[in-house]
Structure 1
């Protein structure tokens, strides 16, 4: 009995833990037990949490949003069956790397827009029409979606965009050309606009 206790209490090396997690990830995915897969990637604007459902990328979150809180929210809104499963997010991670390396100007990953509804989703569906290196005002986006008087609602849709960077709400500015709000903060918005300007 003491031998078993000693074995169970012995520290486990990182390589073993990683191997066991990859096995858990693989078997959970094969059994259809993962409703939301996530990973965290490094980027020039800080660590980004990427989350996906079987339908596509559902969330990109900045560290300033508190990744643990984001995962809790995803658990309440989508499913408690959440697992760190980088394999499901490999394409999204690769496309983000290419974007930050200036080798990609538009994203091709499948998106799951189920975290937003109604007018907000309409705005977020139109944001990718703002080309790389271009900007539009909140008013211009309101006109683009067919509701020119909905300037504030466009601002709210951009501020609550669950897929920043990939759905480019950072390209929307105030009418006077100043930044306006951004879920990742003004430094991240400035960095993204600077990246696309060169």
Structure 2
């Protein structure tokens, strides 16, 4: 394939840019929440779980793409003296210029909106079951919004907390108690016993 000046074929760099293992971060809280739901209620609404998993993966894609765009904009990925930088950055692979940054931000925003839309589709299973109280939906929604806000604070300006030694605590909070708690509340309320399908 085409060679990048920093080494590696373009195809290989795109493969690295996808960061597939990172999407396990979306699956971990959902797997935990689904296991808890199955343990306590004996069932999990598979279509609802699928909506949540797809949506969560798109939110992770937003984090990845937005991080690449912000890294480029703030000089984190600067190629000093012809060496260094991050050759698998999506911005760099798209041309390493302002247009590439804009394309990456657009792709990130589309990923976030699509992810939130799929998660809301999953929430509708909980609403349709008639088993989710307004307080349950509010609590779950608040936890998910807090997790997304932490995701932005992790990689987006003016915070960029991942570069201030706070990346691990933020990831723990967002993908631990916040995501697991929210998805458990929603899955528990969206099961087949409430008419949510299954």
Do both proteins adopt the same fold according to a TM-score greater than 0.5, normalized to the shorter chain? no
More relative contact order, 1 or 2 (CA 8 Å, 6+ apart) = 2
More strand, by proportion? 1
- TM-score w.r.t. the length of structure 2 is 0.27
More helix, by proportion? 2
